[in-house]
Structure 1
Amino acid sequence: MSPAEHNAAPSQQLRIQLLGPARIRRGEHDLGPTMKYRRTLALLAYLAIENRAAHSREHLADLLWPQLPADAGKANLRQVLGNLGHLLSTAGVRSPGLQVTRHSVALDQHPALWIDVHLLDAAPVQICRKCIGSQCSLNPDERSLTDGLGQELLAGFSLPGCEAFAEWLDRQRSFFRQRSIDALHRLADCSLEAGRMDDALDLGRRLETLDPLDELNQRRLMRAYAQHGLRERALRQFETFASLMQRELGVPPDTETALLQKSIAEGTLRAARADERPLASAPSQHHPGTDEYRSLAVLCCECIAPCADPEDGVLHHRNLRRDVIECLTAYGGHAVSAPGQSLIAYFGWPVARDSAPADAVRAALALHRRFGAQAQVRIGLHWGRTISGETPDELGELSETASQLRLLALGGDTVISEHMTAVTGERFSYQPLNATHSGAVYRVTGITPSPVSADRSIMLGRGAEMTHLLAHWSETKAGNGRTVVISGEAGIGKSTLLAHFFRHALSNGGALRAFICRPELRLSPLAPLGGMIEERSGIGPDDPRAARRQKLLDYLQREWPDKVGTAFPLIVDLIDCDGEAMHNKEALFRLLIEMFNDLSSQQPVVLALEDAHWADATTLELIDRLALARLPIMTLVATREELPVRGHVSQASCIRLGPLDDGLAHTLLQALPATAALDAQARDELIRRAGGIPLYLHELATLAGERGHDGAFEDIPYTLQAVLRERIDRIGADAHVLRAAAVLGQRFEIDILAEALGNHADLSPALERLEHNQLLVAEGDGNYRFTHALIRDAAYQSMTRVRRTALHLRVATVLTAVFPGVAEKRPEVVAWQATSGGDLRQGLFWWDKAGRLAARRQAATDAVAHYRNALQIAESHPELTSTATTMALMFDLGDALILSEGFGSLTARKLMERALDIAVRSDDSTGRFMALARLYQSDSSHCEHARGLETAQLLHDSATNNSERMFALFALGNSNFWRGNFATSRDALVRLHQLAERAPATERNWFGGRSWHGGDDVAVTGQSFLGLTLWFLGEQTEATSTLANARRLGAACGNEHSHCFALSFSALFERFRGNPTGAERYARMVRSLAERYGFTLWIGVGTLIEAWAQVHQGALAGSALEQGSATVHEAYRGGGVTVLSICAEAQLAMGHPQQALTLIERALLTAEELAEQYYVAELLRLRAEALLLIHGDKQCATARAWLDQALELASRQHAQPLIERILANQQRLNCNDAQGRLQDAHDAIADAG
């Protein structure tokens, strides 16, 4: 089978890798643990390689069990074949490729099997055909071949006592080693020619470990370093190779190698320009000409080396400049020339990195270390947000600031801006300098020990993962080594989980060895191991070579005295600043396995590889070899990308960390001091934007705590900008699709996106790649959403205003022209797109339409938002509309505010005062009536009953049509009811009912608005008030039927606010009647309906009356009374008398007459202040009743006076039910007086006798 046929095999095929440590996988599942016998692997390898013929059972038994009798060997072979057959079987194919007969066994090629060594059966030219452009002809997603190249066949595997098998294995190892070398040469040449320098260096370093004296490969490495911009590394590569040649062979490198070295030193072989080769860290599809916002760290340096001879000075300056550029490039900087002898380097361009600011500071310190002795080095560092396009800093403002800071630096200093210190945090030490016009500045004094992030002390929602790790730790302590891969996106909490586990392990006698991977070291083999050794040896970054070697020697003599002679020459290259080659990898690996074995015999060991997505291939190979050695150590691998790492690490258990749910996110927020002052709504918004990522949540909370509510929820903290931007930069050309999707919002449809891009080609491949990179989630039916709100925000904010505006306008046009159905259903989307696109006339039209649609749906909060947007455009751009239209928007917004906030909305009142002023100035009588009507409603809700009655009469006198007359009659009925003029109220409400019965539904609104949703339906509200009025007048039967009619009309009119009105008044009616069962039924109905639509007032009324009813039925509901009272007061400022009387009645029912009396006194004072007389007679009666309950007969005279006062008022109001209650109280009081006088007489007689 050809390589192409192998690559075309199904994704669930069995993948057998024999190069390097053997791995057998199906999909993501490691099948290694299902292999019962070591000889199963031996048989599999033998059959896979010797696949040109069948092999007799006798031969295989003798090969694998030479010391056993033939029958015993065949019996064992049957068991191993059974295990192998089970291993190879898939759901659809039984033992694919395995041909077993009574006499022979063979393993044929089969589409369900992929075996890496079969690819090396072909010649190198067939393995790596010529590249087309920069795209390798090998499948770029198929890395198994190149990962295995250079590794030993069945690395670390042997069968003791099987000499024939051992000889066969040695021959095959030699064969495949040479085939690997040939293929690596071919691949390395291909990568070098295509400009893929990262691949060329990786492949060349692998070849170097196989044959350090391969001069052809040494020249290739030198060229790759030089063309990668790493000139000094290229020259060091030559020096190291020349020393090795002299030491091993006693000869210098040949002439061609020496000439190459000379051309590199003289600059003849230079680094390829950006337009000649792809940048090391940039996606090949990057388009630097696209303007976009980007956060950059900018370093401006000046290295001046005095020289007496001008010609020598020019050459020296040129060489020094090249060396400085190489140093900056090594730390991820993009260096460009600056005026004079300065250089500017940009960190975070063309691909963002969250470590960019820290990398810039490290680069500055490295420049001082390397060149401070030979030149005067002055450096300025700054960080900020700029527009990048064809150049990193198009406006030049960041570059200019860094240059100014460089001028402040004395020789040997690095001066850093306050902005830069804010993003580098506590990783470096600083000394404050005098402030400048640009703000505070500091001098960098060094690197500080890595601080432990404060939020790592907080770990939530990882109990299962921690339990998993502790179980593996127990196994490790029992002598069974474990490897665990912990994966998840940046900020998900991998480091926090590791920190908590490390504390547990160390506190229980464990030892920790941590390898830290860094992006700038991903091409340096075993750099994480070298960093760990440097830390344990006390080697500092400024230590010279001799001191570094001595500290390493001291460390080895202290910790490993029996291995110093062997260990020092193998390890020294890892910490030697002049050493680049690793000349004996296998010997080093054997040493490290021995050292970890010795350490684990003394105490349990945790080996951690952090940020493994930046690990070099050799480090991953070392981790795998340690795992295969079955040492009693626990290896933890933390990575952002699980699959690439798992491809290198055998037999690993996997833990994938997902986002926190909203409940845990709330708990985490409560534990953060920064959120103490934030309200619940602000916290909910933080949780929505963070999407369950702890780091996002922590940084958003910190920013919100610093800024409060002023823009904190729109910005992205600088600590997250680079993390998010790095994810976007990694997707290359697909970023323009992601940005266009961001313009559509958090969720979008693929059809609309395609039209917006003006590209009718299939977007599915790009969207699938974005989904694969965990930036989008497919929701089905062509709908997608961003995985996190912050990713959408970062993509959106990275675009320039011009680009965003053009896309918004395009989307608005697409929605109205191509997708009119979407526009009609979601006009607010069109409105936002048009407004953001600068078409304010269309924005005004669609915001108005969105407000009306939301109001019809009773979505009060949405209606307020949409009308506000429309009114803002109309008032800021009066040329776009007429005064009448602006006033209509004000009325609609006022109505929506009343729906949302209640009748007492102060915002609505202020808006109506403005509308009335406009109507008077423009002599608009209709507008004046509409504004007055709404102001009347505000007066009524605030119990301005005297002024309200005057306004009601004015409205009645100026009404010109039925709609206005109906509202005026309602206003007269309403004001007279609250003032206790029940007969007058009844007359107005009856006349209203007569008009409303004949009026169409579109006219039966309170305020005469331009659309039916202008207010409540007066047929419903008028009947509701009339029902209560009739009860007070003693017309019980009529009251009951009238309220039933109000409920019927409310349910049928389609206005849910009016329906709530009718249900609330029905609940009040049952309360007046003293029927708690009926009151509770209607209260629950109104609360349920009001909660569905967000009607604050009716939620409060329902809660309050339901609590009243429960109290009268024997249940305690004090907290509900308080809650309902507060809600009603917030929405309806004039509800004081009603609320206080309900609470007073409840307190009496609960047996708390003193609390009731206090509430009654407050209610009477409120009624006197507001001239609200409708319930005063009942309050006076309740006052007398409470007084008697508290003091008994001692206050009979006072109670009688209050009852007389109540009776006089109720009689004047013709309030028959109240009159009957008062008379009953008086009768009981008189009866009690007569009984008291009779008892006094009996007492007197007894005393006389």
Structure 2
Amino acid sequence: YRLIQGFFVCRSLGTPVLKGVVAPIEAFEVVEPTGIHTRFEKAVASGLTPLVGREKEVELLLQDWEESKRGPGRVVMLSGEPGIGKSRLLRMLNERTAGERISEFEGRCSPYWRNSALYPTIDFLQNALQFKRGDGADTKFMRLEQQLEQWGFSLPESVPLFAALLSLPPNKRYPTLPMTPQRQKQKTFEALVAFLLRAAEQRPTRVIVEDLQWADPSTLELLELIIEHVPHAHLFVALSFRPEFSPPWAAQPHIRNITLSRLSRDDIEVMVRSIAGGKSLPPGVTNEIATKTEGVPLFVEELTRMLLESGLLGDRNGAYELTSPLPALAIPSTLYDSLMARLDRLGTAKEVAQLAATVGREFSYELLRAISPVEETRLTGALNRLVDAELLEEYLSAPRLGYRFKHALIRDAAYESLLRSQRRQYHSKIAEVLPEHFGDIVEVQPQLLAFHLTEAGLGQQAIPHWRNAAQKAAERSANAEAISHLTNALEILKTLPEDTSRAQHELALQLSLGVSLMLTKGYAATEVEAVYSRARELYNQVGESPQFYPILFGLWAFYAVRAEYKTASELGEQLVSLAQSAQDSALLVEAHAARGNTLSFLGELALAREHLEHAIALYDLKHYGSHAFTYGQDPGVHSLSYAALVLWLLGYPDQARTRSLEALALAQELSHPYSLAFALVHVLYIHRFAYEVKETEERAKELVALSTEHGFPITLAAGAAHLGWALAEQGRGEEGSIHIRQSIDTWRATGSTLFFQPFLLAMLAEAYGKVGSSEEGLTVLDEALAIANNTGERFWEAELHRLKGELTLQSQFQGSQFIIRDGAEGCFRKAIVVAERQHAKSLELRSVMSLSRLWLQQGKESQARQMLADIYGWFTEGFDTADLKEARTMLKRAL
């Protein structure tokens, strides 16, 4: 009865005689729930310490609450040191608004969960859905469907999002959504915000989240999004945190900041008298309390209670007096000492408090019972004593009864009082019980098991659970949390013997860490470079093996996007060699695609074509369609897209168009967003190369929309650059150049400051040329050529020299005509030499046309005609393209 008292209305059935039980035991019948979720009301009735010295803060809270009910929502940021009364103030808000018809959502962050993505949200959802231990996936899906329907959500769109958040397995009716982790995270956030906004449409809604100094990064992101929507709803958000926390969101008109200060001497005296039941304490004792506590309310309360329980004070005529002289050390100097003095007087209850503190600030009765060596009756009695002493408080977290330490400092004191050996023993017991009896918790939050194994000194057993936690976090695009979990695993790994097994485990962890760091820090971050450098060392240690193929592929992708083509080329050769040795066609598809990619950037176009065509020939959608989710993009789309680029460069524009459209069709069939964006980029290239301005503009807008929706900065930059080029071609050169410049900045912001830059800078130079800014264009081309020479990225080098010649001609009125034209001819000749060396016939054609144009102006018709005829005669297709049409026209002029 003691466990449920206050939560349910009960009727006494007297003291029936029970077989085998001598002492009378009163029995009760449960009548109905009371609707109470904490002991707050009971504590008030029995003398809960009143809120002292906070009248102004209470009025501000109530004022903002009332304003949020009538009009735009409000946010209150409540800051203060530990024990200053933040939670007590928020409880006062609940007390003063009791009986109002509202929706309220409360969450509390914890140091145990600071790297568990969206822990407060997941905890709330599990309670709201009444998930029980032992519930199967079908039962959980049924409850999820019912609740989402009540909340007004479309099931096909919302169930997969919430199921993933709750770590439910994929369901036949609700398969995994075809979207990137970042996009899924965005859609999940939108769904959670929509849920709050819908609640606020029905009735005033209050969201309270405490202890943000321990919030996980994803929770802070979600709160930032909620705060943005607060002015547009009847929504009140109260957030509490310690002074060391710095909110990541900017100050806004609807946000109020409240900082709680320490109590004055008068407030301390009022508080002490209240705790003493309205009786006064001797002035000397009160002075000592005021001096030692320095106005921290929690310390005032704990120290006063400690003295009242110590036997040093006696009640005489409605006031307390000292029963004997006050010993010098009778009043502890710190809150920790005060709390420990109280715990020491609780006997067995102290041991229960220490065990509970090992679980965390909050814990379920069920878990504590499973790990406690104490017999259940004694355990219940100990918990009752801790509740009566107001060190713990009970709460209902449906369907489980739970407890929480009244303050985090109480939990910390109990935990820190344990010997290190005892801590390890307790953590070990928790780690043993969790997977055996609480598998549902471990499934959703594997980092909890990993943490207890780590603290128990069982680090090697913890590593796979840290890795599992990181994978789950990465799947939700909670990359900051994933980084933390992987770092924990790597730190443990350092303590293990150095052998091949350790190197293999570290290699897998480092590569997972590299992916998360790329997404959060950017490709050029020093942290990313350190991870991949270490990964390459490890790969060389463990030797080539097909099982490490994705790792080697990840290394290749990293160095390729960093424009470190020499290293990328070596890794590409290793990919091909390993795949051939394994005689694995699945690996060969990826190997040839990667090798063809790198060779195309190096300007080795004929060899690149061979590898890409090999990959295309091996590719089978049925067998390799899943590669998009392992390697980041589909190898068929990858190979077809790059084949389109290479074929155009080699002088086969019709075949190039065919390959680009095949890539697009395949990407659409796959329903893999990044593969679709990748294919669209290369469709854009073919339109632009053919000077199909309107088609380029339309496809660019499509790509920008897709990339924005799914959060693909690289393809977004490519789309924006081509949109800028199309605008410049339509007479909007200044606007177009701004688009291209911004797209280059977007591209470089990802950390990829060199990769593909010559190609983008060439587009910017063209746009500058359209508005007569030839000097700016020439400066840009010098930068592009310097990057090409530095990185070895050669596939667009001929076009850079040709454009430099064209802009040199355009600037002829700014200097000597003879010198400038001679310089332009040199640029055109250089472009032709480069194109010939690369067998880049399309770029050779453009360069010959530019030089022929100049020669025709100089009266060198015969030379121009011969050169044009030679290159034009080489082509066997693409005669309806803009370049070949213009070449025909020029040939006629030269006759």
**TM-score normalised by L of structure 1:** 0.37
Greater relative contact order (Cα 8 A, min sep 6): structure 1 or 2? Answer: 2
Structure with bigger gyration radius: 1
